[in-house]
Amino acid sequence: MSFKIANLGLIAFTGMVVLAIASTQVSAESNIRARFGTRDPVTCPSYKEPRTGAISADQAKQYFKCGLEAKGGLEGTDGQVFVVEDLVLEVGAASPPGTIRIPDAAADSPAYAIKGSFVIYGCTAISTSPMTYNKGRNCTVKTQPNASGWCYKTVNQDWRCDMVDTRNRTVQMELPPPASR
């Protein structure tokens, strides 16, 4: 994955200022790997499918990963990247519209119970400084074996899938990032 970053410069011509723009091709993936030692966070181009009917387990997995990884996916966000691995997710039956109280859920859409398990890595930037050296041990890993939650449409008609294990999660610190895939 790559994107363009615009380089902006101001040029002054006899009392007139002109904005000059040049673009540089930058690889986001290599920057994430170099800085955090892990893969890029998953992104979703759209959260609209399916427009009608039940959400599939594959769609729910994708939306769950996109939502959770996006929270820390930008390098400037708390200096961390979040990556979900070993995701297992099942979609249950629909609850009738309006019976589940979720603040941003569309009142006219059903909510689908989800359950599963996952491992989330929260990785800080790699430091090779002698004072703060952390290469190969820059991640906090949370294992959530009994997660549950909901997939639902928001008031903007975007799907959102969230789940968490509030009882049995384990936390390990100073572990390496997951292998790049």
More confident residue, 149 or 11: 149
**pLDDT on residue 24:** 34
pTM for this model (two decimals): 0.76
Count CB-CB contacts under 10 A for residue 159. 25
Give mean pLDDT, residues 127-151.
90
**pLDDT on residue 47:** 95
pLDDT in tens, 68-125: 996 554 444 557 889 999 999 999 999 998 888 888 999 899 999 999 999 999 998 8
- Smallest CA-to-CA distance from 119 within 71, 171, 166 is with 171
Q: What percentage of the chain exceeds 70 in pLDDT?
A: 77
% helix, strand, coil for the chain, step of 5: 15, 45, 40
Tokens representing 144 are 């959530």
Most confident of 21-25, 89-93, 165-169: 89-93
Parallel, antiparallel, or unpaired: how do β-strands 16-27 and 170-175 relate? Answer: unpaired
CA dihedral 68, 116, 62, 29 (to 10 degrees): 60
Q: In this structure, what DSSP letter does residue 132 have?
A: T
Q: What percentage of the chain exceeds 90 in pLDDT?
A: 49
The per-residue pLDDT of the chain, averaged, comes to 80
Residue 157: band (very low, low, confident or very high) from pLDDT cuts 50, 70, 90: very high
Torsion sign over Cα 103, 105, 106, 108: negative
More confident residue, 17 or 58: 58
50 by DSSP, 3-state: which? coil
Asked if residues 138 and 125 have their Cβ atoms less than 8 Å apart, the reply is yes
Residue 13 confidence (pLDDT) above 70 = no
Which residues face 124 on adjacent strands?
Answer: 80
More confident residue, 91 or 126: 91
Asked if residues 28 and 43 have their Cβ atoms less than 8 Å apart, the reply is no
Burial of 83 (0-12, 13-18, 19+ CB in 10 A): buried
Question: Token match 């966070």: residue?
Answer: 41
Domain boundaries, the chain: 38-175
Give mean pLDDT, residues 24-48.
75
